[in-house]
Amino acid sequence: MITIKDKRFDLFITNEQLQEKIDIVANKINKDYKGKRPVLVAILNGAFIFAADLVRRLEFEHEIHFAKFSSYEGMDTTGNVEQLIGLTADIKDRDVIIIEDIVDTGTTMKSVIPQFFEKGARSVEIAVLLMKPGKLEVPLDVKYCAMEIPNEFIVGYGLDYDSLGRNYKDIYVVKE
Ligand code: 5GP
Ligand code: MG
C-alpha cells in the first residue's frame, strides 16, 4: 500500500504484468508498421513512461515527438481540448501513432485526432496503455490497447494523483 497526499492506494498491476502486455501490443504494432516510417506522438505528461517502454520494442524506423493538451478538468462541454505544447513535427502525409497513457471517457482522444488530420496526417491510430471500457462516452476506435481495467482511479507508471506518483514502477488503485 502507498499513500499520496490524502489518499491511500493498493497495488493493482505490477510492472512485470505491464511489460508482458506491452510486449503483446508492440508485436502487433511491429507487424502492422513493418516497412513504414510512422511518426509517433506521445501525449504529455502521463504517457512518458509507457512511450519509453513501447518505442524500445519497435523494430521499424520511426520518429517520436511529444504534444501536450489541456487536461480533463479544464475542458468545456463541447469537448474542445486545447493544445498546450504544440506539435512541431511536420506530419503531412505521414502515418501517425498517438501514444496515450489511458482512455477514460474518450473525450481527449476524440478531440485530438481531428487536429492531426487537419495537419495533413494520412492515418492516425491510437496506442494506449490502459482503457476503462465501462467509462467510454464517445465512439472511439482504439487499435492498440495493452490492458483494459475497471472504472477505478489509478496512479503510477506515469499516471499521477495531483501531479504526484508518476514515478512508481507499478500501478496502484485508490482505496475506497
Ligand atoms: P478522457 O478524455 O479519456 O476522459 O481522459 C483521459 C485522461 O484522463 C488521461 O489522459 C488521464 O490524464 C486522465 N485519467 C483518466 N483516468 C485516470 C486514472 O484512473 N488515473 C489518472 N491518474 N489519470 C486518469
Ligand atoms: Mg493523459
Task: Write out pLDDT tens, residues 10-21.
Answer: 999 999 999 999
Nine cell digits for residue 104? 477514460
**Number of neighbouring beta carbons within 10 Å of residue 100:** 23
Q: How far away, in angstroms, is 102 Cα from ligand 2 center?
A: 6
Query: Does 111 sit in the ligand 1 pocket, CB within 6 Å?
Result: no
DSSP for 56-103, please give it. Answer: TT--S--EEEEEEE--GGG--TT----EEE---S--TT-EEEEEEEEE
Quote the pTM value.
Answer: 0.94
Q: How far away, in angstroms, is 72 Cα from ligand 2 center?
A: 8
In our burial notation (b when 16+ CB lie closer than 10 A, e otherwise), range 138-159 reads eebebebbbbebeeeebbbbbb
Contact 5, 14 (CB under 8 A): no
Query: Does 131 sit in the ligand 1 pocket, CB within 6 Å?
Result: no
Mean pLDDT of 99-107: 96
Residue nearest to atom 16 of ligand 1 (CA): 104
pLDDT of 71 over the 50 cut: yes
In ligand 1, the atom with minimum distance to the C-alpha of 137 is: 4
pLDDT in tens, 137-149: 999 999 999 999 9
d(CA 144, CA 28): 8
In ligand 1, the atom with minimum distance to the C-alpha of 108 is: 2
Contact 9, 174 (CB under 8 A): yes
Of 53, 95, 101, 104, which one is the catalytic site residue? 104
Query: Does 42 sit in the ligand 1 pocket, CB within 6 Å?
Result: no
Ligand at minimal distance from the CA of 48 is 2
What pLDDT does residue 86 have?
78
Give the end-to-end CA distance of the chain in Å, rounded to a whole number: 13
d(CA 104, CA 147): 13
Contact 69, 81 (CB under 8 A): yes
DSSP secondary structure code for residue 158 in this structure: T
Strands 95-103 and 39-44: parallel
**Number of neighbouring beta carbons within 10 Å of residue 54:** 24
pLDDT in tens, 118-137: 999 999 999 999 999 999 99
